[in-house]
Chains A and B, each alone.
Chain A
Amino acid sequence: MTLLDDDIDDLLRTFRADEALLDHMTRARIWARICDEVPDAPTAFDALALRPGVRALRRRTPPGGRARRLGVAAAVLVLLAVAGLAVRSGSGDDTVAAGPTTEAVVPRTLLELADAVAIRPVGELGASDETRYTHQVVTYHLQDGGSEGTVRTEERWVAKDGSGRQVYSLPVNTDRQFDPGDLLLGGLPPDVAVSLPDDPDRVAAELDEHGQATDRDASNTVIATLSFAGLPGPARAGLLRFLDRIGFMAVSTPGVRPSLLRVEGPGPDGSTMQADFDLLTGEVVASTSSSPDGRSDVRTYTEVDLRVDRGQ
């Protein structure tokens, strides 16, 4: 057998080639490591030498995002909200119980989001025995990058038969009843949400299709209230796979806990959207959306979070 040098090179190129592939998750973890190791406050010399500080790096959307994912990203956060509440429903609880997040996790998470302008506990939504799920989405419209804005909220109740009530504020208040199979304001058919915990592959397909079809409004931040308490492991894994597929970045939160992931992706109008997952429990402990001007809005899920974050 005669081997040419080219044959050797070709053979070498196949050697361990599978290990050379860089997936989204790893790429984002590497980026996070770099951000962690760059000094938080670069010296004046560094700044003059155009050495980016971590603030500037973190303000950038992690590399690899695509503009067309924006609608998908927003839709995913909305549906994740629905998913969590869909799973939690059935317990009959009228209030949202504090999640199993520990104090070791929550304070650091929220401190990292210290520029939050709004942290609100959620749990006042009413739910009857007939309620299948409820959720609230709060959208902040920042005006011209200013500090003042308006707030849109959406609240939704869905009964076991698929009918329900949806309240949407801004630009005009709406309060409508819907029947099973109706398309809700915002375009989310309730049956998609209901299917979420049971069939992650179908959910991924539905989310994908829905997100691409959604014409998002001009808001530059979207905040969803999220909880995956009780979400079955396969469904959680499916969601994470899907998040990865559409380009969300799952980044470990250094120094906090290995199981805590920060999922980050592009949001509308250049904003960056994040959700902090506790993978041990499947619960999202906080979500945030950062607008291009550096302003962030944060949504946390439990009253415990609120007390800890304010720290007084």
Chain B
Amino acid sequence: MPVDDHHEASAAAGFSAVYEQHVDAIYGFLARRVGAQLAEELTAQTFVEALDRHDRYDPERGPIGPWLFGIAANLLRRHYRQEERALRAIAAYAGRQPHVGEDDEERIESRIVADERWPAVAEALLAMSPGERDVLLLYAWADLPYSAIAGVLDVPVGTVRSRLSRARGRLTAILGPTSSSSEDASDPPAPDQIGRRR
């Protein structure tokens, strides 16, 4: 095999491994924010841009996952309106009670509780600035620590903390009072804690 072909094959193998490892997380994050159809396109764009910009990735600055989320987050910025349309649609369900059969109640109780709150969650997400929403959802859905979120959004860690605090404040204002005893915003969670969250 010629050298170039060998390099090309090696690179393809490496890229394939990165794709396999991260595509679920990237797609999941995007799909929750803008829906499955656009997420499919944006996920592909994320990896294509990663290929185009691969020389800008510095492994010493951190793992490749947050770097990919950074690309995805940049792509998302062009689609905030679509995200907000979806959130408005969910928020419009406020007050509607899901139909539940008598026998099903116990089994899906937790799901119902969540479903009942989703319109409120959507409303709270709509009330946030895009920057606050980015921080909150990168934290909750992408499982990124503060320092990685700061890298993804290219903002200081302090900004991440303050945005997260404000975002949670908006959520609790709608859902109920909060007690920030579990995680102080000034104390980022340890990586192993993050790993256990899913």
Contacts and interface: CB of A to CB of B under 8 A. Distances in A.
A30 B4 CA distance: 26
Closest A-B pairs by Cβ, 4 of them: A20-B28, A33-B44, A56-B12, A52-B12
Contacts of B4: 44, 47-48
A60 B12 contact: yes
Interface stretch (A3-11, A125-133, A199-207, A276-284): A3-11
A17 B35 CA distance: 11
Interface stretch (B92-100, B152-160, B167-175): B167-175
A13 B140 contact: yes
A12 interface: yes
B51 A20 contact: no
A14 B175 contact: no
Given A12-B121, A20-B27, A33 B176 contact: no
Contact of A22 (B27, B181, B182, B198): B27
Given A13-B141, A19-B32, A26-B40, A1 B7 contact: no
A29 B180 contact: no
B141 A12 contact: yes
A51 interface: yes
Given A22-B24, A37-B48, A49-B55, A2 B12 contact: no
B108 interface: no
Nearest to B171: A8
Interface of B: 4-5, 7-16, 19-20, 23-24, 27-29, 31-32, 35-36, 39-41, 43-45, 47-48, 51, 54-55, 111, 114, 117-118, 121-122, 136-137, 139-141, 168, 171-172, 175-183, 197-198
Given A12-B140, A30-B40, A57 B172 contact: no
A12 B13 CA distance: 35
A2 to B, nearest CB: 5
Nearest to A57: B12
Contacts of B28: 20-22
Contact of A30 (B11, B23, B182): B23
21 contacts: A2-B178, A4-B178, A5-B182, A11-B121, A11-B175, A16-B31, A16-B118, A19-B36, A19-B39, A20-B141, A27-B27, A37-B44, A38-B51, A50-B54, A52-B8, A52-B9, A52-B15, A56-B8, A57-B15, A57-B16, A59-B12
A121 interface: no
Nearest to B29: A20
Nearest to A53: B8
B40 A29 contact: yes
Given A11-B114, A37-B48, A56 B168 contact: no
A295 to B, nearest CB: 14
A55 B41 CA distance: 21
Contacts of B111: 14
B114 A15 contact: yes
B54 A5 contact: no
A64 interface: yes
A42 interface: yes
A97 interface: no
Given A5-B178, A6-B183, 9 more contacts: A4-B180, A6-B182, A12-B140, A14-B111, A27-B23, A30-B43, A34-B51, A44-B4, A60-B12
Contacts of B47: 30, 34
A4 B54 contact: no
